[in-house]
Each structure stands twice: as C-alpha cells, then as structure tokens.
Chain A
Amino acid sequence: MTDSAPPVSDLDLFDDEVLVDPYPSYAALRALGGVVRLPANDVYALTRYDVIRDALGDWEIFSSAGAIGFNPAVNEALSGTSLASDPPVHTRLRATLTANLSPRALRGLKKSIDAKADALVGELVAKGSFDAIDALARAFPLEVVADLIGFTGHVRANMLRWGQAAMQVIGPMNQRTAECFPIAGELYDWCSNVTADDLAPGSVGRGIFEAEARGDIPPGTAGHIIHQYLGAGVDTTIASIGNIVALFAAHPDQLALVRENPSLVPAAFNEVLRYWAPVHAWGRRTTRNVEIDGVLVPEGAKVAILFGAGNRDPRHYENPDEFLVERNPIDHLSFGYGPHGCAGQGLARLEAHAVVEALSRRVARLVVGTEVRVPSNITRSIEELPVLEVVPA
C-alpha cells in the first residue's frame, strides 16, 4: 500500500459559478487525479469513471450510513432510510421501497404515461411557444407522480417546492441549505402524519398503507416511503426532462436521428443523462484506509462522488464532451450504480422515454431562447427555457 497523499485543489464544489457550470471544474479535477482532496468542503472528491463506479459498487468501504449529505443535520434527518444505510439493514429497507416502484411493479403504467406525455406535447406543439421547464419538465412528472402516489389538494400544489428543498438541504450548510430546511421540514411533517385516507383510492400510495396494514412492511414505514418518493424522485426527474428539451433544441441533428430511428429513444435518454448529470455530488464515508488510483484515502474520510465528472471522463467515453445519441452510454453514472443505484430509475425511464418519443414524433425542430440557470446545491437543472417556435413534424 502506498502512503502518498491525494492531490489537493482549492476548488469549492458548492460555489455559485461551479454549480451553474461544473464541467470546467470537473475536467480540472479529473486532470489532477481520480481522487482529489478539497479542503474547502472537507471532502475527497472522486472524479474519474472507474474510480466512481468501483466506489459505488463497494458499500463495505464506501459507507452510506450517515454519509450521503454534506451537513450533519441532513445526515441525522436521513438516518434510518435506505438511502443512508448499508446492508444488511439497507437490503430490507430497499425491498420495501422498491416493492411498488421497481419496473416489475410499474409495468402496467407504461400506456397511461405514454398517453399523458403525448397529450401534453401535442398541446404544447399546437401552442407553438411556451416555457419548456414550467409547461413540460415540471408539469409532466408532477402529474405522473401525483397520480401514482395519489396526492390530492394542497400536497399537489406543494410537490415542486418540497421536492426542490429536499435535494437542496443535502448540500453543505450554506444559505441555500439554511433557507430550505424549513421547507424540507414541511414535507417531513406531512409525511409523518399522512394516512391512507389522504391518498386517492387505488393509488400506489394507498397500496403502501395497505401493505403496512397487512404487516408486509414494518409499522410506521409507509410515510417514510412516500417521503422518499417525493424527496428523491421529483426534482431529479424534472431536471432530466428539461435537459432532454434543451439538448434536442441545441442538437437538431441528434433529434433527427431519433426521428428516423425510434429504437434510439432509450439511447437518447442515456446520452442526456450522461451529458448533463442531474445530481452534482453525493456523499459516502470510508470505513478503512483505502488506496484509490495509487493514493491513500484515510479511514473515516468524507467522500464526494461527482457523477458528472465520471460521465465526461475521456478514459471511458470517446469525445465525452460531444452529445451523440447513438453512443448509447448505458453504463453512465447518473443513476449511481450497485446496491444504492437509483430506486426510481424504472419510473424515470418510463417518463423520459415517453417524452422523447412524443417529441421525436411531433417535433422537427425547436427554436429556443436563452436558458436560465440558478445555482443549486445538489440538483443541476434549468430554471427557465423559453421555446419560441416549434417546427412541427
């Protein structure tokens, strides 16, 4: 075992400018090493594809317990969830979470999700100009998730701000995190008190309570599961659907490829996720001294996994800064990988494939104005994207 220390950078991962466009910083960190120590954030950042994928697959050395967030309060709040635990506890919690969320459980939904996407895209194409984030990227997943879980009334109205806040507070204790804690708290309180009667009959949410009543899942866990659906599944899906529209608008030749060959729909979504990772950084903690890429990371070190940096690693992807749907990067890192791989990725694929399909069927070209981005601790998404003109198919 080597004892050489990792390279050091004075970069602050959560600086406003870095958050808005992290890719130059990712490239600089990757050039320094597969693991780089960042004193500004008190973390060891993982930057290269192989290093990240190996760490994600190795829960014994890279623990999630009390470690996924970048401030102690959020790690405390998330303790006892599948997100923030290791096997064997994690295995049981994850099974409970995915019982209603795995592709297996969601197979029956494809038709209705496709129909919703097609109707919404059809309406927007007819309108001709709209904000792609508000009218599509937010509207569509909010409708799908609200109907799925059975949300009604004021909860539906709060889903967007609750979902945004739940991701924001995973960052370090900066102003954004401090401002969002009370909002994330509203979500937590609501989920702690929600009952079956608050959710629409026949919904997946109601089904989770029925599973709890039958004893299929431990008492008191139904609310936690709903919390994870909302906290983890809304903001990231919105980001990726906004990214689909923006990247197709910027790369009409790539949209044309999908139009000519609809079997490229899944490949196009994989490339959108690779090109712009919805999640900036995610935490782990080392359980022992570990050698990574020839340098030593000490036991108990806080680790920041930079999915977007790994996704643009030229050691793994040829011309990584090009957006090319035909490369079909099925092994991209944006859903994570391994035991903690995104639990909602089946639903995310259903939604995103429906949007890509509808766009590629109905749209020849999108003329857009300037995209607006605001700094955000964890989710990297577009805030506003005016579509000025739709050239219909």
Chain B
Amino acid sequence: MKIVVNRPRCEGHGLCEEAAPQLMHLDDDGELVLDREEIGEADIPLANAAVRVCPVAALRVE
C-alpha cells in the first residue's frame, strides 16, 4: 500500500501529522513530507487515520 498526496490540494493544515507523526511531518516551510510512502499492513490504520482527518481531502491510501 502507498500514501498519496494531492499536492495542489494540500494546504499544510498539519492535522495528518498529529494523527500519524510516524508517517509524515510538515517541514520548516510548512510543506508535507511523507517519511514513509510505502506502508505495510501494520501501518494501514495509522495511514487511514491521517486520510480521515485531512480537512481538504488531499490524502489517500491506495
């Protein structure tokens, strides 16, 4: 499975980082960085939590 960011849609609200700090963070410029793009079975609930809280629906897991 893979986490995918819709870059034009991401505005850097940062709620995903709060939900899944192990998988992603905002850098010093407020840009979202995926620390792990490819995720295993164990991380899927965490990734889904990040997808769930994105207020502009800019994240998905596929």
Contacts and interface: CB of A to CB of B under 8 A. Distances in A.
A103 B29 CA distance: 10
Nearest to B8: A91
A103 B13 contact: yes
A103 B52 CA distance: 19
B34 interface: no
Interface stretch (A143-151, A293-301, A332-340, A385-393): A332-340
B9 A345 contact: no
Contacts of A331: 52-53
B57 A104 contact: no
A interface, by DSSP: helix, strand, loop or mixed? helix
23 contacts: A57-B57, A95-B8, A102-B11, A102-B12, A102-B13, A103-B12, A103-B30, A104-B12, A104-B30, A330-B15, A330-B18, A330-B19, A331-B52, A335-B55, A337-B55, A337-B56, A337-B57, A338-B56, A338-B57, A339-B56, A342-B55, A345-B55, A346-B12
Given A335-B55, A345-B13, 12 more contacts: A98-B11, A102-B11, A102-B13, A104-B12, A104-B31, A330-B18, A337-B56, A338-B56, A339-B56, A339-B57, A341-B56, A346-B12
A107 interface: yes
A199 B11 CA distance: 26
Contacts of B14: 103
Contact of A346 (B13, B19, B57): B13
Interface in B1-41: 8-9, 11-15, 18-19, 29-31
- Nearest 5 pairs of A and B residues by beta carbon: A104-B30, A104-B12, A102-B11, A338-B57, A341-B55
B30 A107 contact: yes
A98 B13 CA distance: 12
Contacts of A341: 55-57
Interface string A319-357: 000000000001100010111011001100000000000
Interface string A89-104: 0010001001000111
A336 to B, nearest CB: 8
Contact of A103 (B9, B11, B19, B53): B11
Contacts of B12: 102-104, 346
Contacts of A330: 15, 18-19, 53
Contacts of B13: 102-103, 345-346
Contacts of A339: 9, 56-57
Nearest to A343: B11
B29 A104 contact: yes
A83 to B, nearest CB: 14
Contacts of A103: 11-14, 30
B22 to A, nearest CB: 17
Interface in A49-97: 57, 91, 95
Contacts of A95: 8
B62 to A, nearest CB: 16
A341 B13 CA distance: 11
A84 B18 CA distance: 31
Nearest to A335: B55
Contacts of B15: 330
Contacts of B53: 330-331
Contacts of A107: 30
A331 B57 CA distance: 12
B48 to A, nearest CB: 12
Contacts of A98: 11
Contacts of A337: 55-57
A104 B11 CA distance: 7
Contacts of A345: 13, 55
A220 B19 CA distance: 40
Nearest to B30: A104
A107 B27 CA distance: 12
Contacts of B19: 330
A345 B56 CA distance: 11
Nearest to A92: B8
A91 B52 CA distance: 21
Contacts of B9: 91, 339
